[in-house]
Chains A and B, each alone.
Chain A
């Protein structure tokens, strides 16, 4: 039963990734693209956690944590760059 739920959840998050990719490509403003990238990172974290449950190891949680940190920093850096023209003033 868990396998079915894992498949369903993976399909949902994969679909979410596709939709946000579409938003990343077509998004009218720069802020839309940053938002789409941020949401893609979050969906990818969920996919990694699901893969970790499926494989039964703990390693993927560490990787998901790292990706969460890198995603946050990159979103803030993009926004700072557009807002101020510089990342660290």
Chain B
């Protein structure tokens, strides 16, 4: 009975590790084959969320089921990666836009100021209409 449980938990941990590895392979194929950078930005999200996530879930299960000690470090790493991945993707896309995409190719923003990549942000306070009431 006890041996069966160990076998099941080993299969579970091994399955999560293999899933993580397969998704990292998918991500590297995407890195290799996709044509433009905007397409390529899509590929590493697989290895961030599912690849590293699978490995970290496998690691949590390993410490919980086999070493019988609960560990939360993996959860911290996953949370940190999930929080930072969109920010880095946004920054890389902005870098690419500044480098390769011209301002005229983009649609209008529908606001007073243009795209943040090309125009400076509206400065608070500086060019202000004197007719308007004072700010508190």
Contacts and interface: CB of A to CB of B under 8 A. Distances in A.
Nearest to A27: B37
A34 B87 CA distance: 13
Interface in B27-41: 27-29, 31-32, 37, 40-41
Main secondary structure of the interface of B (DSSP, over half): helix
Interface string A25-40: 0000111101110110
A13 B51 contact: yes
A80 B132 CA distance: 35
Contact of A32 (B18, B40, B73, B77): B40
B135 to A, nearest CB: 24
Contacts of A53: 17, 58-59, 62
Contacts of B29: 19
Contacts of A5: 13-15, 17-18, 21, 58
What bracket does the count of chain B residues touching chain A fall in? 35 or more
Contacts of B37: 29, 31-32, 35
15 contacts: A5-B15, A9-B24, A12-B20, A15-B24, A18-B28, A23-B31, A31-B96, A34-B95, A42-B47, A45-B52, A62-B73, A75-B91, A82-B95, A82-B98, A83-B94
Given A5-B15, A45-B52, A46-B55, 5 more contacts: A1-B10, A19-B31, A42-B47, A53-B58, A61-B71
